[in-house]
Structure 1
Amino acid sequence: MSHIPHALRRFFAAYPALLWVRLFGETLTSLSSAMIAPFLVLYLSENIGGSVTMTMLVIGLQPFSEILLTLFAGGITDRYRRKTIMLLALFLQGFAMLGMAWADSMLGFAILYIINGAGRSLFIPVSRAHLADTISSAQMAGAFALLSTSSSIGAALGPLVGVIIYKYDPAMAFLFTAISLLIYAIAVWWKIPQTPLPEAPVEEAAGVRSRGSWHAYRPALAIMLLSLPISLFYSQTETNLQLHLKYTLPDYLQTLALLIAVKGGLLLLFEYLLVKWTQHLPARLLISGSYICFLIVSLGYAFIDNVPVLLALQVLLVIGESIGLTQLMAFVTRISPVTMRGRYFAITGTHWDISRMCGPYLGSLVLLNYGGMMLFIIVAGILLIGAGFMYVYLSTNEKASPLEQEG
């Protein structure tokens, strides 16, 4: 037992202060935002008004704004100090969430949702680039796993609290999120030092110039396109799954909150360990294998209406998310040029925005016309195709440019 405090000190000392501030902020904001996400579709349709398709179109506005701002935001993160952009992004999101607490029309909510998307499009690439600037490649997968684990704390507790808030006053969840974003911004301002932008090695800078902009961005674009099946799956679980459960389960609100809470709890307990246990395996196996996990879960959503079995499927969802998404971000870090990290993370992350912009609306059309079973069967088929293409691409990449495994 006497070795535990020393081991903990070594563990905390292994990573820079930036990571621990991020862990604090991500835990806080994920807790508050997890009160909103599972019930956003229901909130818009029941409290503000509008059809299912109109609600899905409004939800698609935030990722649409993020797509428009992606290259612009990525360029900003590579030209200006990381800390300054992080603070600006957090304040934009906080302002938008504060306004959403009192929005009483679809138009007002849509405008604020777009502003929130602008803040996210700035914060996500700059925070990941800042982490990549500060942490060694051998620690990268573990750092991303810790960040995801911190978010899982909020994901585990937020939905359960969200059920209570939704029944009492749903707008309070937006207010809590605005306050948490302000506290996060204060922590970044207080504890994270301003750092200079990294300079590329002479050989790398000359290589980027000689190959041209298209060639320089091609790996990021490839990863973005090949990741679309994963984000399409998530876009359906975040939106149309709510309606599918409403039609198939009697206590759908409690079941939805329980599914998200169980997933968050499992991620909290096992994500970091899963990353450490599997990081010696090739990226092609881990990333493409995650598609298969998501595929099985999608088929489960299509055919299963038994709550215990749906809860058991969360284990596969956690395995796929842990071994796949974390390794994918670490892979992007390794292939991105030093002076283009912000743009690489912005471009590769666009697949989330594309799927969240188009997926809810297109999925709602399938849901309304053919049912939730057909919707999740189609998603499973897309994941199967994506797994094959991703495996081939990563295998080719490994042969052309062998990468040293982490750990």
Structure 2
Amino acid sequence: MHIRLWDNNLKVRLIGEGLFNMLFWMYFPFITVYFSQELGNGIAGILMMVPPIFSMIGSLIGGALTDQLGRRPVMLLGALLQTLMFVLFAVSPSPWMDYIAFIGIGLGGAVYRPASSAMVADLVPSENLRQVFATFTTANNIGAVLGPALGAIFFFHYRQELLWTCALVLLVYFIAIYFMVHETVPHSAKNKKGSVVITRVVKEQWKGYGIIFRDKVFLVYILAGICSLIPIMQLDLYLPVFVINHVPAQALFTWNSASLMLSSKEIFGWLVGFNGLLFVLFILPVTKWFGKWKERNVFILSSLLAGFGTFFVGLNTNIWYLFFVTIIFTFGEMVRSPVTQSFISRYAPAHARGQYMGADSLQYTIGKFLAPMMVFLSNWVPPMGIFSIILLFAFISIVLYIQLFRIYVEQPLAQD
């Protein structure tokens, strides 16, 4: 499905989300390091477990409101909340206020995402979902190429200017959504909307989520996703702590008597940038290569690559070796991303698509809740012990995915 054939909603979102993610990757990879330096590894590890709880709540609320109020109003709410929290972050006088702002940014993003994903599912035929989601992933990762390398400088030396720029870009995106994006709720969902009464909405939505989580297929899918994401998420959690504390400064290139020396922080920035470059160059080809693979096999391959790739990081501190293992765990994340989004988009019924999207994001929020435990445990457990625990989660996810596709063999289209 060529971009010129896309609905205008998708084009606006592709540009807006792509621009914001260029800035996102200049601050996000360094958040854990920042709080570790300001407050210590133990406290930082515990603190990083809290934002996912708010994100989980935001995802459930966002999913519920997406079906009740529509996609566009919820996207506006999420974008506005993130804008305000970036302003708070920029004017914050202390790390604790920074932390509150960081929680608010995550909450706004969690409210936004179910509506955003539901809008894609509303507008794109099921056979094109993988390709469209892969295109969004490519746009979102363009910023991950240069962002981390620049962020190693800007986040620690020009943080306020960076945060103000994030706030401005999100404000512009909010205005673009308001004037250029139209509603996409399917007729089957519109007929059920009626008047919105908060207490009734809360009761109905919790009842709806109860039905969703009694769906055995969906529940196993969520549990498998949580375990498979713990290795993937370490790029932003334990890996920066490991690289900065255990990887020595070294030369990237040496020629004659000169060399390009990189500090530990800069090495991590280059690794994250390389991760983003791989996504930009290969996400669409990889999606095409694995387009005819069974979803079961893609999920299992993803867990194997991400688990072993992350484990291998602990075996050597040479920068070129670290680039090599980055390729392994990046491909683990890459093969999984479009398949995950297309799986749930087709599995969810149209009238409850927002709820399913919100519930689906729980694998990310719960994964983010558990993943920082690696930072917390690093105070007592040596690096190879941490990497072994990470690999264990990958193996557990493989077992769960095998079980998932024993009870869900076919891939039926969602029924409107």
Q: TM-score, normalised by structure 1?
A: 0.88
The one-letter code of the counterpart of 2:42 is T
CA distance in 2: counterparts of 1:340 and 1:402, whole angstroms: 18
Q: Which residue of 2 aligns with 1:168?
A: 157
Three-state SS of the structure 1 residue aligned to 2:376 is helix
* Deviation for aligned residue 1:218: 4.2
Please state if 1:127 is matched with 2:116: yes
State the Cα distance separating 1:105 from its structure 2 match: 2.4
Q: Which residue of 2 aligns with 1:277?
A: 289
Could you tell me how far 1:229 is from its partner in structure 2?
Answer: 1.6
Give the equivalent residue in structure 2 for 1:371: 382
Residue 136 of structure 1 is matched in structure 2 by 125
* Aligned equivalent of 2:29, options 32, 38, 57: 38
1:18–1:177 Cα change, 3 Å: same
Look up the match of 1:3. none
Distance verdict in 2 for CA 1:198–1:116, change over 3 Å: farther
Identity %: 22
Matched residue, 2:211: 213
Q: Which moved more, 1:191-200 or 1:256-265?
A: 191-200
What corresponds to 2:146 in structure 1?
157
Report the CA distance between 1:385 and its aligned residue. 2.1
- Tell whether the 8 Å contact from 2:307 to 2:329 is kept in structure 1 after alignment: no
> 1:74, CA displacement in angstroms?
1.4
What is aligned with 2:169?
180
Q: Match of 2:362, as an amino acid? A: T
- Please give the residue correspondences for 1:94-109 in structure 2 after superposition, counting only pairs within 5 Å: 94-109=83-98
Contact map agreement 1:159 1:257 (CA 8 A) in 2: yes
State the 1:88 CA deviation. 1.0
Residue in 1 that maps onto 2:350: 338
* 1:166 to partner: Cα distance: 3.0
Q: Distance in 1 between matches of 2:213 and 2:111?
A: 24
TM-score scaled by structure 2?
0.86
SS in 2 for 1:194: coil
**2:205 is equivalent to residue 242 of structure 1:** no
1:206 corresponds in structure 2 to none
For 2:324, the equivalent position in structure 1 comes to 312
CA distance in 2 between counterparts of 1:201 and 1:104 reads: 46
Letter in 2 for 1:272: L
The amino acid across from 1:13 in the alignment is R
Amino acid at match of 1:166: F
Does 1:113 pair with 2:90? no
Distance, in Å, in 1 between the alignment partners of 2:233 and 2:3 is 35
- 2:267 is aligned to 255
The answer to whether the 8 A contact 1:43-1:170 is kept is: no
Q: What SS does the corresponding residue of 2:39 show, helix, strand or coil?
A: coil
Secondary structure of the residue aligned to 1:368 is coil
Indicate the larger mover: 296-305 or 141-150: 296-305
Q: Name the structure with the higher helix share.
A: 1
**1:25 is matched with which residue: 11, 16, 23?**
16
Residues 302 and 375 of structure 1 are in contact (CA less than 8 Å); yes or no, is this contact kept in structure 2?
A: no
Relative distance call for 1:115 and 1:167 in structure 2 (3 A) is closer
Matched position secondary structure for 2:379: helix
What is the CA-CA distance between 1:51 and the residue it aligns to?
A: 2.0
Q: Note the C-alpha offset of 1:319.
A: 2.1
Per-residue displacement from partner, 1:221-275 (whole Å, max 9, x unpaired)?
Answer: 3221111122212332212211111222122111111111111111111101110
1:200–1:99 CA distance, 2 compared to 1 (3 A): closer
**Letter of the aligned partner of 2:33 in structure 1?**
L
Which amino acid is 1:326 matched to? Answer: P
Instruction: Label 1:45 to 1:382 Cα distance change in 2 as closer, same or farther (>3 A).
Output: closer
Distance in 2, matches of 1:177 and 1:221, equals 36
- Report which stretch shifted further, 23-32 or 177-186: 177-186
Residue 79 of structure 1 contacts residue 197 of structure 1 at CA under 8 Å; is this kept in 2? no
Change (3 A) 1:62 1:144: same
Do the aligned partners of 1:75 and 1:343 also contact (CA within 8 Å) in 2? yes
Q: 1:296 aligns with which of 290, 304, 308?
A: 308
Between 222-231 and 52-61, report the one with greater CA deviation: 52-61
Mark the runs of 5 or more structure 1 residues left unpaired by the alignment.
1-9, 203-208
Moved over 6 A (4+): none
CA displacement 1:176-226 (0-9 Å, x = unmatched): 221221122222223212334441699xxxxxx99x825665433322111
1:224 match: 222
Deviation at residue 331 of structure 1 after TM alignment: 0.4
Which of these residues, 155, 177, 190, is aligned with residue 179 of structure 2? 190
Query: 1:31 deviation in Å?
Result: 0.8
On the 8 A contact 2:66/2:354 being kept in 1, the answer is yes
Q: Is the 8 A contact 2:138 2:280 kept in 1?
A: yes
Check the 8 A contact 1:302/1:377 in 2, yes or no. Answer: no
Task: Please give the alpha-carbon distance, in whole angstroms, between the structure 2 residues aligned to 1:328 and 1:380.
Answer: 20
2:50 aligns with 61
- Distance in 1 (CA, whole Å) between partners of 2:213 and 2:35 is 43
Paired residues of 2:66 and 2:115 also in contact (CA < 8 A): yes
3-state DSSP of counterpart to 2:91: coil
Unaligned runs of 5+ in 2: 192-206, 249-262
Counterpart of 1:382 in structure 2 is 393
Higher mean C-alpha displacement, 300-309 vs 11-20: 11-20
Q: Distance in 2 between matches of 1:28 and 1:86?
A: 16
The aligned counterpart of 2:257 is: none
The aligned residue for residue 392 of structure 1 is 403
- In the aligned structure 2, how far is the partner of 1:63 from the partner of 1:163? 24
Q: 1:396 to 1:91 in 2, by over 3 A?
A: same
Instruction: Find 1:233's aligned residue among 206, 210, 231.
Output: 231
Counterparts of 2:388 and 2:266 in 1: how far apart (Å)?
Answer: 24
Q: Check the 8 A contact 2:59/2:110 in 1, yes or no.
A: yes
- What is the root-mean-square deviation in Å for CA atoms of aligned residues? 2.4
Q: For residues 327-369 of structure 1, give each alpha carbon's deviation from its aligned partner in whole angstroms, at most 9, with x where no partner exists.
A: 0110001111111111111112112211222321x21232111
